[in-house]
Structure 1
Amino acid sequence: MFEAVRNNRRIVQIVLAVIILPFALWGILSDMQKVPGNADVIGKIGGERIVAGSLLDRMRTIASDQQDPSIASRPGYREQVLDMMINERAIGLTSEGAGLFVPDVLIKDAYVNEPEFQENGQFSPKKAEYVLQTHGLTQVAYEARVRESLGQRLLMTPLAQISALPRQSVARWIALTEEQRTVAEWKLDRASFNAKVQLSPEAIQKHYESHKKEYESPARAKVEYVVLDADQLASKVQVGDKEARDWYESHKKDYIGVEERRASHILIGVPEGAKAEQKAAAKKKAEELLAKLKAAPGSFAKLAKENSTDSSAEQGGDLGYFAKGAMVPEFEAAAFALKPHQISDIVETKFGFHIIELTDVRGGKTRSFEEVRGEISAELQKQAGAKRLAEASDQFGNLVYEQPDTFKGVIDKLGLSVQHSDWIDKGGAAAPGVLANPKVLAAIFAEQSVNDRRNSEAIDLGKGVLVSVRVTDYQPQKQRPLDEVRPAIEAQLRAVEADKLAKAEGEARLAKLNAGTAVEASWSAAKALKRSEMPSDEVRRAVFAAKSAKLPAYVGATTADGYSIYRIEQINKPEVALNDPRIDGLARQLNQIYAVSDLRQLQTGMRNRLGVEIYQDRLPSNSSAAE
């Protein structure tokens, strides 16, 4: 039971990696709304309305979790998020229709293992409360969202489990990847045909005229800029020992490690809805086992393996480490009341009758000031940096606006330094650091910036960073003249024609070789190579598609340098036994791939069955989410 919950996670992770967004505690229940009115409705699925506000919220939430928040303004982003929301709801509605039940133990397990609620790798009740409050959630609301999400996952689990390839197929796959062909190569390099290529001025002119867009210089600019950065402000803060100690004393409870307990149990399970006599029989068996344990405490693992109805029986009943909140209340109360190596009396839960042995206790101790001095200093620096940023941000914005032709005011009052860029292309090429941000690039190449050469407004890049830029030099987009690009065009056309000559010559010689005619050639030393070691897909297809009835065999293929002929001298096809240990690892990978494919098809079927409508003319713009 408890162990089965843990064992299912791997399959669930495979499913969710593709079907729905990895679980975030903010954003499932409110995306679709069953409300009257159509003004804000942008689509429907299964009769439920999708509203513009929910789409914008999801777009902003996802973008805020990315390193580059400007993702929200990229083409196609809105459609991707909307598609994800529809997929989630399709699975949710199907799960609800199937009446899937999510046990409480799964909810508790998800709660204590939520990464957002952990500190130093351990569950922190205080942090959980803080994070939930930050997002306007109670623990009850959070658990409701977890329940819906897990219900969707449970719907997917059976399909993921059946996507399994036969061992014979996997063995064959390994044999193909391990097959080696011993080949020698005869290169007909492009360079050796260059001298034979004749290019006319007309050909160069024609190519230039038909590819003018390729020979345009983008607009580019040089700028000077100033950056107000909370991290830089924080790095200048010196945290004294007294300040750090005062913080430690007033927050000492935050440095108490979460106590975790390791226990083993023997479960005599009782099915849901069992009759009174069934429960009595199960309890009697548990009491008999408890008597044996009191007589021989060292036999716990043996008795668990022989009698426990939980999947943890294979491990002698071992459940591993767990914190408070992970187990059902009755089990938790008993486990946390025991001393190490002590065995409990009979504990009844909704799953049946347990006998618990506490095997270890870890955590629960207060970390010393010396242990957390670095963490405290970093936290106080971060707070100071945020405070200084809040104080300076308005001043920064006012100064770059009020003195639009200089950054002197910002330098003098805020102690910042002016930085200078080299040429930056309008597309962002060669833009370093903050200048590569789409918001900054847009400000640099805005018509007003280029024409007036004044400071941009303070650009908020998020994560405590403000920037202002001023264009100091500008070159508009222009057509590069033919004389400037002629050498590049000539080299390109010459390479194309040389490749044609190399291929024609190679195919002619290959035909002679296959006809049994002697040909003077320069072969490389023969090498035994696998498919993965071929230089290109074209070469791999040519060499490994060659018939093996008669050797040597000859094949040809276009290469990066021209054309090559390959002489296949030997073929080694390995035999892979069905007990080969490599089969299990590869089978897991292939099964995941096939499971994903099957689940995509199921997802499409769900959407088709429920019915999806999208009102394109009502969709909010990407820029709305970026605001």
Structure 2
Amino acid sequence: MLKTLREAQTWIIKAVLWVVVLAFIGTIFLVWGMGGRTGQNTIATVRGTVISLGEFQTAYQNLLDTYQRIYKDRFTPELAQTLNLKQQALENLIQRHLLLQEAEKEGFVVTNAELVEQIQSYPAFQVGGRFNKERYRRILQLNRLTPADFEQQQRRDLLIQKLEKLIKDGVHISEQELREAYAKQHGKIKLQFLTLLPSLFEEEIGKTLTEEEIQKYYEENKELFRHPEQVRVRYLVLDSKPIEEKVVIDDEAVARYYEEHKENYKQEERVRARHILIKVAPDAKPEEEEKAKARAEAALKRVKSGEDFATVAKEVSEGPSASRGGDLGYFGRGAMVKPFEEVAFSLKPGEISDLVRTDFGYHIIKVEDKKEAGYRPLEEVKKLIANVLKREEVDKQLREKAEALREKIVDQGGNLEAVAAQEGIALHTSPFFAQNASKIEGIPYARPFATTAFSLKEDEVSEPLKVGRDYYLLQVMERKASYIPDFAEAKAEVRTKLLESKARKAAEEKAQAMAEELKKGSPIEKVAASMQLKVQKTDFLTRRDRLPDIGYNFTLLDTLFQLEPGETRVETVGGKYYVLQVVEKQLFDEEDFAKKRKELAEQLQRTKESLVFQAWLEALQKQADIRINEDLLALL
């Protein structure tokens, strides 16, 4: 499991790696061995091995804690549900049991030497880059682990690693796969295209529309013109501002909150650096690469000889930070590409690197400052905490006031108007709106307001509804049932929809006709002139580039890469019709392929290994006798 976590590619896992690792390890051995229990305490069985309720609950809580640390105040029960954490926790446990069973079937064993090497490799147990036994024991103790339990768990992790290695060792990349991957990543096409808007055809079509056509369209498409159910409500707003002006948070409360939520203010190691970037295009020729390197070396010579780094960066750097003297501010691990990160974190404040080559080009890095991992000081976060506590207190008082007000309204027979007058609160009335309304006059956030309104019965007063920082109490005044208007009422809308439909059809037909002309060899300028359209031409594009006027559309680019030069395609994007023609295509550059071959092969090997292992695990899981106690799971 620890290997899997170390190799995880998501920022979420990376951000809380050691928290998760130690918490999960705690989970495993706290509940390991409870598998013999069955019945009401069994959440699932994997080939007869029990996953107990306790094991599941602890694993789920661990996962929940992880996401709470990540999202902090933004974590909600709704988000937990969206992330499907219960299913994630159960899936993780099922797969772990399966992998251990398979590892044991294969006869894998873990030697003491392998175990020692594994444990000593973890940075968390090291001081100055070397394993420290006292630190090891202290970290385990802080996480309520004993060395025996932790080491037993490590043996299991190593068993799974050996099984994973067995599967992955059988994966190989063929020459054809390598060449296809290169072509897909580095292939380029040039395009030319025309854009047709349906609105170009509306004026002429509008002149020919008849009353009979419009009425026929109405009769054939009545549901298109249905008006949804609508409601109109009266409502009270309890403003948060008067309470905000009175609430004061003292320093003692801030300090207490800081101590209770200290993990929220934990910071990883960070570095502040400047850099000078001399760009090198991904498809740069050798002579272009040499020119860029020479310019970078000249800049390096200047800053190494004592010239002000920021001044040189402003003068020669081609990165977006050039105007700031190359200042990148503070950043942690994972924020920069790997070669840049490794050098930046290896330098001391004031030191300047040699040239660093990345996919962007040549960098020269100067470290200005370093901050070790630790906790942000109270003084630094004091204002932030005070704001959090103030918001919580204001919300608490305002909600209590809203609940008391609702109770008073209910006691007076639901008379919202009378209570509003008694309390001196303004009574508001909304216009009619539908349940899916995205805007309601006078309401800052329409969706929750509309959802609440449509959930109310006649004369019912809503529970306090939080909208922004204020609370609302709603009562439905009037309902309009859904209906289809008669032709006279709907005529203007019917005409508009019919016109739009005919214009879209005309635009598509014209686009197809233009594509046919291009296929026959007509110059695109001549084809464009018939509609006075602008011809757009691109430079070489890869599959991940932005299309002018269209934007990022990887699916469309993948489709266009299937075409040969001269071939055309008509596509509709965002209501516009595009006539696209491939002008030139370069899928392979043998010289560039030779340069990138090793890195690409390693990348492709890792990807294929992961896919094969995942497919194997999914097949294993599908074939295994796994029984889940759905009734118990639903209750949790």
| Map of 2:570 onto structure 1 | 557
Q: Does 1:94 align with 2:104?
A: no
2:37/2:52 contact within 8 Å kept:
no
Residues 89 and 218 of structure 1: CA distance in aligned 2, closer, same or farther (over 3 Å):
same
Deviations 1:316-366 (A, max 9, x none): xx999xxxxxxxxxxxxxxxxxxxxxxxxxxxxxxxxxxxxxxx9979999
| Map of 1:456 onto structure 2 | 462
Higher relative contact order (CA 8 A, sep 6+): 1
Q: Does 1:524 align with 2:535?
A: yes
1:543/1:568 contact within 8 Å kept:
no
Deviations 1:31-60 (A, max 9, x none): 99754436x877644335679997999699
Residues 91 and 508 of structure 1: CA distance in aligned 2, closer, same or farther (over 3 Å):
closer
What SS does the aligned partner of 1:479 have? Answer: coil
Distance 2:123 2:409 in 1: 48
| Map of 2:48 onto structure 1 | 47
Deviations 1:83-137 (A, max 9, x none): 4344212222134433687969869979999xxxxxxxxxxx99x98xxxxxxxx
Superposition deviation, residue 475 in structure 1 = 3.3
Residues 176 and 377 of structure 1: CA distance in aligned 2, closer, same or farther (over 3 Å):
closer
Superposition deviation, residue 426 in structure 1 = 1.0
| Map of 1:483 onto structure 2 | 491
Distance 1:233 1:579 in 2: 69
2:254/2:386 contact within 8 Å kept:
no
What SS does the aligned partner of 2:416 have? Answer: coil
- 1:296-315 correspondence runs (5 A): none
What SS does the aligned partner of 2:500 have? Answer: helix
Residues 519 and 215 of structure 1: CA distance in aligned 2, closer, same or farther (over 3 Å):
same
Residues 420 and 84 of structure 1: CA distance in aligned 2, closer, same or farther (over 3 Å):
farther
- 1:58-137 correspondence runs (5 A): 67=75, 69-70=77-78, 80=84, 83-97=87-101, 98=103
Residues 12 and 409 of structure 1: CA distance in aligned 2, closer, same or farther (over 3 Å):
same
Distance 1:468 1:106 in 2: 59
1:176/1:573 contact within 8 Å kept:
no
Q: Which moved more, 1:428-437 or 1:24-33?
A: 24-33
Q: Does 1:604 align with 2:618?
A: yes
Deviations 1:557-602 (A, max 9, x none): 3445446263626758544535747974x77876675455334313
Q: Which moved more, 1:243-252 or 1:172-181?
A: 243-252
What TM-score, normalized by structure 1, do the two folds share?
A: 0.54
Superposition deviation, residue 398 in structure 1 = 2.9
Residues 35 and 398 of structure 1: CA distance in aligned 2, closer, same or farther (over 3 Å):
farther
2:456/2:475 contact within 8 Å kept:
no
Distance 1:221 1:153 in 2: 63
| Map of 1:244 onto structure 2 | 251
Q: Does 1:215 align with 2:225?
A: yes
| Map of 2:411 onto structure 1 | 402
Residues 260 and 187 of structure 1: CA distance in aligned 2, closer, same or farther (over 3 Å):
closer
Distance 1:252 1:83 in 2: 33
Deviations 1:165-218 (A, max 9, x none): 689966764555444444444567656666479777676556545554443322
CA RMSD of aligned residues (A): 6.5
Whichever residue aligns with residue 577 of structure 1, its letter is D
Whichever residue aligns with residue 37 of structure 1, its letter is G
What SS does the aligned partner of 1:529 have? Answer: coil
Deviations 1:249-271 (A, max 9, x none): 9999999999999xxxxxxxxxx
What TM-score, normalized by structure 2, do the two folds share?
A: 0.53
Paired residue total: 480
Whichever residue aligns with residue 521 of structure 2, its letter is L
Whichever residue aligns with residue 476 of structure 1, its letter is A
Distance 2:151 2:465 in 1: 37
Whichever residue aligns with residue 96 of structure 2, its letter is G
Superposition deviation, residue 498 in structure 1 = 0.8
Larger radius of gyration: 1
Superposition deviation, residue 395 in structure 1 = 3.3
Residues 380 and 17 of structure 1: CA distance in aligned 2, closer, same or farther (over 3 Å):
closer
| Map of 1:283 onto structure 2 | none
2:395/2:469 contact within 8 Å kept:
yes
What SS does the aligned partner of 1:87 have? Answer: helix
Give the gaps of 5 or more residues in structure 2: 127-137, 270-341, 348-369
Identity of matched residues, %: 15
Q: Does 1:443 align with 2:452?
A: yes
| Map of 1:37 onto structure 2 | 39
Deviations 1:131-174 (A, max 9, x none): xxxxxxx8349997998799569836648976786899667645
Distance 2:375 2:172 in 1: 46
Residues 44 and 9 of structure 1: CA distance in aligned 2, closer, same or farther (over 3 Å):
closer
Residues 166 and 233 of structure 1: CA distance in aligned 2, closer, same or farther (over 3 Å):
farther
1:455/1:469 contact within 8 Å kept:
yes
Distance 2:196 2:494 in 1: 27
Residues 379 and 485 of structure 1: CA distance in aligned 2, closer, same or farther (over 3 Å):
closer
Superposition deviation, residue 486 in structure 1 = 0.8
| Map of 1:133 onto structure 2 | none
Superposition deviation, residue 399 in structure 1 = 3.4
- Matching residue within 487, 492, 495 for 2:503: 495
| Map of 1:354 onto structure 2 | none
Distance 1:592 1:419 in 2: 62
What SS does the aligned partner of 1:155 have? Answer: helix
- 1:505-584 correspondence runs (5 A): 505-506=513-514, 508-510=516-518, 512-513=520-521, 522=529, 524=535, 526-531=537-542, 532-534=545-547, 535=550, 540=557, 544-547=561-564, 553-560=566-573, 561-562=576-577, 564=579, 566=581, 568=583, 574-577=589-592, 580=595, 584=599
What SS does the aligned partner of 2:498 have? Answer: helix
1:400/1:458 contact within 8 Å kept:
no
Distance 1:366 1:540 in 2: 46
Residues 175 and 396 of structure 1: CA distance in aligned 2, closer, same or farther (over 3 Å):
same
